[in-house]
Structure 1
Amino acid sequence: MNHDRPMTLAAFLKVNPPKFKGTTVATEADNWFRGIVRSLRAQHVPEEQYVEFATYMLEGDAQHWWQGIQRLLQQDEGNILWDVFKEEFYKKYFPRATREAKEMELMQLKQGSMSVAEYTRKFEELCRFSKVCQGNPADFEEWKCLKFEGGLHEDLLNSVVPLEIRNFAELVNKSQLVEDCGKKIAAARMNRPGSSFQNYNQYTAPQGRNFKQGEMPSRRYNPNRNVHARPTGGNEGRMRQDMGKRPQQAQMRLVCRQCGKEHGGRPFQLTGVICFSCGQLGHMAKDCPKKPVQGIDRPRQ
């Protein structure tokens, strides 16, 4: 293919070059200019036709702007050079103040809450507006790596900096690997038996029952729940706990030692005759069937 021959506009339009209608967002204007340059180079358009083909893709406000600039530029010379068009285009849609603001944003950029992939995209987007990152990439590769490292999280920074990587693509790859390993370790700790997250799942979904996760088990009536044991035999001071009842839930219900009944902790009230010899009800000491034999000490009451 002869690259010196002029190309027709119809042949150039077959590759669907990007159109531009004008914008107030500087990055969109920069994206269009870079896109149209790729289309021109891909079709091997001669450089003297760059302005003709690129300006044909302008529409709306951008087209009106170019018509006014074109009349001013053609007063001095016939053909408008590509570098002249580039300068006028960036002066209109990407002024110097905006470019300096982007460069300042790059110098202050930190990873923050972004992932490594998001941080990398933002970093490379701002690098193209930096005066340092112009020309041959080999000239600013080391500076780019140092700036990228400085904005990483502290945990990533401690793992990546000792490697002293000065290739940007390799540095991004290592940072991504460190981040992925950190996520896997955190997930393993969360699923480890005995962790707080594991205990929470066991509480919300008990094993051996058809509970839905997050649902609290309902309480059912237990007829033996409030059954309390009375003292038997020699264990008068101890109460037997019900089977399956928790110690803190068992309530002691004391039985009166005098009458053998429960009266809610109230003192025993004498309602009949009591023997002063054996302590039983229904008879007096003189009629006690357990009256001690004379000469033997009476039991102390």
Structure 2
Amino acid sequence: MAQKQYMDLILKSGNVVGSSFSSIIHQQDWSLESFLQHNPNKFSRKCSPDEVDEWLNNVERIYDAKRCVEDKRLTFTEYLLTGEARHWWSNMKMLLEDSNTHISWEDFKDKFYEEYYPDIVRFAKEVEFLQLIQGGMTVSEHTNKFKHFVRFYTMKVDEEWLCRKFENGLRGDLKLVIYSLCIKSLPALVEKAKVLETNMLEAKQQKKQQLKKDRETPSFRSSLSSRRTSYSRPSPSSNYGGVYSQHSGSVGHYEQQGSVGYYNYGGPHLKSACPQSTENKRCYRCRTKGHLEKDCLLGRRATTQNRSVL
């Protein structure tokens, strides 16, 4: 009887040779003991939604790897339910059987998620996926979150849409470069983003090391010291041809530059116009140098004599 079943399967699937034939036989012979050799965890009670999702995904990963048929998936999973979860499924199974509903593996997953992973939590995960950005995470961390939340997105999407979603969530410096590459394969996009991030970090580190090295050089310290000196007001030499230098107790001091000099008494002026200088003063009354006519003693004597006569 078993041999007839094998032959029927071969006829339905066409020309099956070599490994395909072995695979069909392997599916039929895979027992509960073979499944338990992979050490699947049992499920007993309610826990966090992420733990619920992780448990079912781990179990289903074993089924996919061993190409387990759907009917046995349900049977093996029922064996893993214990405690509160076992009682829940017994009641649910009885309700489904009373309604003459054939219980498939997909039916079990739907009911399981309704009980232990309600829609309100799944919808929150979907929103979190749509709002996911890299921020301070590395590309690897961002990728792990992206793969975790994409399972909860209910709309039908293709790989190109996933690439654009992943790309838009990257940091600005990475996105600026990645966007121009127009990559349409998600694994290739993730790998390119990781490589680009590594190169940027290395360049940043090298820049820091070079700056540290430059700071230790004498020329850098000298230039830094010169920039830290106090600000000195520029001298008015470019306007007057002289360089004024003020010293304490020397009001009329000036410095000579070339043949032109000036005092800074009452404001910048030429030496010939300085009111404190006696070299350029000439009295037109007595025809002598050293004073002006208004200060001439001869003029003062004449004024005194005239007053005496009056």
1:7 Cα deviation from its structure 2 partner? 4.8
1:89 Cα deviation from its structure 2 partner? 0.5
Q: Does 1:183 align with 2:206?
A: no
Do 1:7 and 1:46's aligned partners in 2 also have CA atoms closer than 8 Å? no
Q: 1:111 aligns with which of 130, 134, 143?
A: 134
Corresponding residue number in structure 1 for 2:76: 53
1:179-214 Cα distance to aligned partner (Å, 9 max, x none): 111111111111115568758xxx9xxxxxxxxxxx
1:97-136 correspondence to structure 2 within 5 Å:
97-132=120-155
Corresponding residue number in structure 2 for 1:74: 97
TM-score (norm 2): 0.57
Give the direction of change, closer, same or farther, for the CA distance of 1:5–1:178 in structure 2 (3 Å limit).
closer
Helix, strand or coil for the counterpart of 1:31? helix
Corresponding residue number in structure 1 for 2:112: 89
1:106-255 correspondence to structure 2 within 5 Å:
106-132=129-155, 140-192=158-210
C-alpha separation in 2, matches of 1:141 and 1:185 = 32
Give the direction of change, closer, same or farther, for the CA distance of 1:5–1:165 in structure 2 (3 Å limit).
closer
1:44 Cα deviation from its structure 2 partner? 4.1
1:247-288 Cα distance to aligned partner (Å, 9 max, x none): xxxxxxxxxxxxxxxxxxxxxxxxxxxxxxxxxxxxxxxxxx
Do 2:143 and 2:190's aligned partners in 1 also have CA atoms closer than 8 Å? yes
Do 2:129 and 2:146's aligned partners in 1 also have CA atoms closer than 8 Å? yes
C-alpha separation in 2, matches of 1:78 and 1:110 = 43
Amino acid at match of 2:54: N
Identity %: 34
C-alpha separation in 1, matches of 2:130 and 2:68 = 37
Amino acid at match of 1:181: N
1:62 Cα deviation from its structure 2 partner? 1.6
Corresponding residue number in structure 2 for 1:13: 36
* Higher radius of gyration, 1 or 2: 2
Amino acid at match of 1:140: D
C-alpha separation in 1, matches of 2:215 and 2:103 = 69
TM-score (norm 1): 0.58
1:122 Cα deviation from its structure 2 partner? 0.5
Helix, strand or coil for the counterpart of 1:170? helix
C-alpha separation in 2, matches of 1:143 and 1:78 = 37
Helix, strand or coil for the counterpart of 1:192? helix
Give the direction of change, closer, same or farther, for the CA distance of 1:160–1:46 in structure 2 (3 Å limit).
closer
Q: Does 1:38 align with 2:61?
A: yes
1:276-295 correspondence to structure 2 within 5 Å:
none
Give the direction of change, closer, same or farther, for the CA distance of 1:197–1:141 in structure 2 (3 Å limit).
farther
1:14 Cα deviation from its structure 2 partner? 2.2
Helix, strand or coil for the counterpart of 2:180? helix
C-alpha separation in 1, matches of 2:89 and 2:110 = 13
Do 2:27 and 2:67's aligned partners in 1 also have CA atoms closer than 8 Å? no
Give the direction of change, closer, same or farther, for the CA distance of 1:188–1:126 in structure 2 (3 Å limit).
same
1:112 Cα deviation from its structure 2 partner? 0.8
**Bigger helix share:** 2
1:120 Cα deviation from its structure 2 partner? 0.7
Do 1:3 and 1:45's aligned partners in 2 also have CA atoms closer than 8 Å? no
Amino acid at match of 1:50: R
The answer for unaligned runs of 5 or more in structure 1 is 204-301
1:79 Cα deviation from its structure 2 partner? 5.7
Q: How many pairs align?
A: 196
Corresponding residue number in structure 2 for 1:220: none
Amino acid at match of 1:177: V
Corresponding residue number in structure 2 for 1:29: 52
1:134-183 Cα distance to aligned partner (Å, 9 max, x none): 5xxxx511111111111111111111111111111111111111111111
Give the direction of change, closer, same or farther, for the CA distance of 1:63–1:157 in structure 2 (3 Å limit).
same
